[in-house]
Every structure is written in structure tokens, then in C-alpha cells.
Amino acid sequence: MKGRILFLIAACLAGCSPRQTLTLIPSDSRDSGPEGHYRSVDVKMNPYQVKLVTVSGKKETRPANEVWGYKDAKGHRYRLYRGVIYEVLQEKQVTIYRESSFGEVWRNNYYYSLTPEGELFYLNRKNLGISFAGNACVQKLLEEMPSRSWLEVTGSGNYRLVDACEGCGK
């Protein structure tokens, strides 16, 4: 009997934990701050829309081009780009993103954009070389810096790649 009561209490506590609140970041007012609090954000592809559920349970839809992304209760930011949600890892001179895949093999894919609203590119030497074709300083650093070190955190708290781009004046 005691075991059953403890199980029910544990089940209630697990099921009664507060839901995480998500704050929507509209694409047209990114500088003015977030708007609206939601408990879920989901992308619907046909038609291309964002489905939202408010904290009170009300369902809403918005055109995907009106949504830049969202922020969770811990302050982590996520960007919606072409139907995929990317975690924003660092937003400086270059914005670094992560897309996590939890299939049979768990992996992280890393991307970057030159501006927070800009096009995302897969993070590799070829794409960086194209993006910074006119910047001899970044080109030289890309030749010298091993790719495995790009996402190492420096003493300034930035990724090495971000520091390199900032040091070269992007």
C-alpha cells in the first residue's frame, strides 16, 4: 500500500511540474523585443505556418515569415529558418547556430549567418571562404586555424571563430 501511494505521489509530482514558457520573437520587431508567451511552438509545412499554443491553451497560427524564433525560460534563443528550428549559440559579428538530430545516431550540425536575419550556411571551410572572400584577414585565419578549434570557447567567452571574425573586422 505504501509503495502504491509513493508511486502516485511521484507520478503526480512528475506530471504536475510547470510547463516551460516560450516567448515568441516576431521577425518584424526583433529589435523591440519579444512578444507573447506560449507553451508550444511548432512548424507546419503545408501551408508554411507556425502553430502556437498559449499558456492558457488557446491555439493560434501565424505565417512563418512573421516569426523570427522564440526564447525559452532559460534565455536560450531559437531561430526558425526555412522550416527548421536552430538553437542560437552565439550572436556577435557572426551568428553561430546548432541543429540537433536525435535519430539512430545523435549528432549536432553547426551553421552560421553573417547577420541574425541573414541566410544560414553550413559551417565548413568552403562556405566560410565564400562568405569572407573579400576579407584577406579572415581568409588567412581560416588557413591557419584547424576547423576542430572553431567552436572552442576563448577567454573572452566567444568561440574562436567569432573572435577571429571580430578581430578582422568581419
Comparing 35 with 142, the larger pLDDT belongs to 142
The predicted structure's pLDDT at residue 8: 41
Confidence of residue 125 (pLDDT cuts 50, 70, 90): very high
List, in order of start, the domains of the chain with CATH numbers. 18-81 (2.30.30)
Q: What is the residue-wise DSSP string for 39-101?
A: EEEEEETTTTEEEEEETTS-EEEEEGGGEEEEE-TTS-EEEEETTEEEEEEEESSSEEEEEEE
- In the prediction, which pLDDT does 169 show? 75
13 band by pLDDT with thresholds 50, 70 and 90: very low
**Region 162-170 average pLDDT:** 84
Does 1 have pLDDT greater than 70? no
Q: Is the peptide bond before 47 cis (omega within 30 degrees of 0)?
A: yes
Mean of the pLDDT values across residues 105-127?
Answer: 94
How confident is the model over 148-153, as a mean pLDDT?
93
Q: Is the pTM of this model over 0.85?
A: no
| pLDDT tens, residue by residue, 23-60 | 989 887 655 555 788 999 999 988 899 999 998 999 99
Residue 99 CA, chain-centre distance (Å), reads: 7
What does the pLDDT average to over 65-70?
92
Sign of CA dihedral 121, 125, 131, 132: positive
Largest CA distance in the chain: 74
